[in-house]
Structure 1
Amino acid sequence: MFIALAVIYVVYIYKYTLPQTSVFLRIILITTRSLVLVLLLLLIFEPSFTVNNEDEEKPVVPIFIDNSSSMSNFNSSIADEVFDIIDEGTSSNITEYKYFSFDSRVDEINKDSVGLLRYDKGITNFENVFNYLSNSNDYLTSAVIISDGIINDGSSSIYQAENLNFPVYTIGIGDTSEISDIYVSSILNNRFIYKETPTVVATEISNENLAGETVTVTFLENNKRIDSQEIILSESGINRVTFEYVPKESGKHKLTIQVSQISNEHNFENNIRSTIIDVLENKLNILVISGSPSADFKAVYNSLKQVDEYEVNKFIQINESDFLGNNFAAKLDSAQVLVFINFPYGNTNDEIIQKVLRKISIDKTPFFNLLGADLSLLSLNKINNLLPFTQGQSFGEVFLAEPVFSEQNSNFISGKLEDFSSKLVFPPVFYPNGNFNIKPGIQVIASTKVNNIQTDMPMILSQNDALLRSITFIGSNFWKWRFKSEINKKNVFDQLVYNSIQWLRVSDRQRKFFVETNKDIYAPGETIEFIGELYDDKLEPINNASVA
């Protein structure tokens, strides 16, 4: 009202002006003063403007129906019963009802679809139901769950239910009794399994409401019994059983774990579980090429020949044109690992050398290289690219030297002979007097000790890159190690040679550490079990390994 009076007053005083002004100017003056007066009145009285808007929202009651197979196990008319319950209980006009089926997930359906549910799902997960209720934007006043209450996935969600600000009603239907069952949860085996090499197969046996019962767990290979064990089912619901396994043949094999049946079990079909493994051929083709007959050749060759998993062929140069051995081309082509003893000799045929170089270059064939003490007898300039060093000045002399294995590399070659380097004194070998410049990326496995003084001169080296994988021994009379290097009734020289070959045969591209879970899909809140496998550089499993 004050605003209207102020405007009328302003119009009145500007209706006639002295001196007389134009109509346009008077309109501008009236408008300006009116706005000023209106603003002053608004500042003085601070009027408020209120808008009332009413929107009626119906309360929502979601109804969740368990669609699992346990609902219909002993009741073929379950679909009609559920529909009748819903039809009778949803007659209110002031409440909006929403319908959902749930198993491993929650799906909204319409009322007419309730009678079409098949009750054939394998999972009952209450946690997803309460996640929906917690995150819903509807005006929820209550909720209803129709279920037999047998939860086999996710958590029971008691904590979530307590934190809702509305009640949740449950209607028990179907067979609500707990089932009794035994089942094989998993079969675990090493990723790399070799023919005639012992390994372990582990299995996990789970039980529900059968703790204390005695059952027999049987291990089968290709449906033939390998072993069996009697176990008493654990109160925790999980028994872990291991079997020793030595595959006799390479190729694919079916491994089966079977648990004996108990009369009151719910399901006998899950008492058996199978997996397919691929057993690798353990016979490794090795070609030993020697520039001349020697005691070192005999020691290395005999060490290799005593290993059943190796197929060893030899090719020995007798003179410039004659070799002991035949079918060189075929044996070279099939070789998976090459062993050189004083090769190539000074008078070795260039054609032989070129064939060997092509084999290594094209097939990336790994090799073991034993160089004699008198390097002047060898044609090392023809295989410079294969050597882990470049040779500097040579004085044409030899001296006695002992190996010094670095602590970090002793197990690299020695394998399971624990701390062998500190317990054993190796006989000295003849070592060439000269300078060896080690190439980048080469690892020194053992250096030398002369007159009890340790030097930087290398005796055993390894190379592992995209082009070459090799182990090189420098010196002569290594055969003495085979006859005088025994610890814990194991020949250390044989162990060195064996582990060197095993390391050479394994591609560096093969993973050595694996982590996986005992299954692919987990429910929220479910315990996740991790399974780790660690292998050494020779792809042999490491038992009781610790990974930080």
Structure 2
Amino acid sequence: KNVGSITIISDGIITDGYEPLYDAEKLGVPVFTIGIGDTSVIKDLLIRDIFYNQNIYAEKSTDIETQIVNYGFENSLVKVSLFEENKLIQSKDIVLSPTAINKVKFDYTPSESGDKKMRISVSALPGETNTLNNSKTFYLKVLRNKIKLTVISGSPSADLSAIVSSLSSDKNIDIKKIVEISKNKFLNGFEYTWIDSADVLFLIDFPGENSSAELMNRTFSSIQNNKPYFILITPTTDLSKLKRVEQQLPFSINKISSDNILVQAELVTENFNAIFSSLSAQQNIWSGLPPIAKNNSELFPKPESITLIKSSVKNIPLNSPLLISRSIGRQRSISFLSGEIWKWQLASADKSPIFFTNFINDIVKWLNLSDSKKQFTVRTTKKLFSNGENVEFIAELYDQTFIPITDADVVITINNGSTNIEQKLEKVKDGLYSGIWENGFEGDYSFHAIAKFDGVSLKSETERFSVVPGSIEKYDTRMNVDFLKRLAHVSGGNFFFIDDYESLFNELNRINLNRVITTYSYNEFQLWSNSWTIAIIIILFAIEWFIRKRAGML
């Protein structure tokens, strides 16, 4: 594309998505950043980040950690508090660090399942210029406290050990293992009832070469009855057996190959973050993971599947992804289309020992969410909205056989505790409806929807969202010079303040003068329209025939 460089003019404050440092590093061209915004030193105290698992279990302790940044208030005493539904859970007094970075960890144990609105706040100090950022709200989904999970593996393997060890770290998961060691022989025995009684199935390198027809039938019969499952496809998975049940899979098997390739992972951030917690979505960890072995068979996601992680070879994306999810009707599934996942556990052990465990356990939690079993669901695109930000609703509607409804009236009712607001959702495609509510008031809201079709009326469960004070742009108003410098540095570029624009122009001129531009040209020759060419070819064929005749080869 002949792109020599990229210039970004920004204040460096990220209001949506993630830090694009890894993306900038892969561009292959220098990124120059120009800083604009407030550079003055103001006295402020703000909650920058909150780290937590968005899906947790009732009656089980979990850590919630917050990072508080202070400007001009070092050595001051403040109170940091954790609230559940505006009820104080825990408070801690801290002395603000001279380094400006303060980390506070809370121990939280929910008493019952359901959505929990949480809030962390830090007490205001005299002289603060902005107190809107002293508080931050978030939601947790609390699951019931025990999940029955059955692991079915085509053979013992390092992948099996890595996944089982991660699952075993969560005491709220009751694990049963069915591991084939040879034809009709299993490790430590098993019962077929483990398959039907499980809440979630984990298929690791299954079916394998020795997998029995009965075990396959029992497993995929349970999946056909909407059992949520995870499947790991390794280079030794028997894809010819798996193709027999292709209709139940979230991907199609177009071509089977015996070749393997080494691939790297590339997150599709928006899709990935919808399922996985922030502890599993750390870009600095993902960028350092080693390549893993992927079978070169053509495994393509079906239209209703969502790609969470792409696969690439030397930064060239492949058509076949690495991780996909599917939530259709009453069933959820996640498919990992590569083996050697144990390498990720090993590679991340020093830098983030809990990364791989969180990644695997987030899969379990998402698969076990109860809304996968509902005929009619409605949700917002996120749980928290800023004052004045539009709230988008999405509804999914199926009949009793879980075929998407082609035509229905879907009306959503929004309640703020005193007033009901009704709004009709418009059809996007069969079974999918959406609408936008232009909110203008802070507060906590509940909502449900009613769908009418063919004389049938269905009501969704009640869900929640919150509109919080202020806008995200006002949360942190200081230019983030450090981020803009790092963004430029990782790509080979430079950072400039807006007043120093002439230095940027000199740098861009230097790049343009030294840039090598590659041009391509081609000539086309019509051989068969040239009489001399045809004559030479005929003579050569005649000579060949004469030589073969003399040698007795004809």
Report the TM range for the smaller structure's normalisation.
0.3 to 0.5
Give the number of the structure whose alpha-carbon radius of gyration is greater: 1
**TM-score, scaled relative to structure 2:** 0.45
Report which structure shows greater RCO (CA 8 Å, sep ≥6). 2
TM-score by length of 1: 0.45
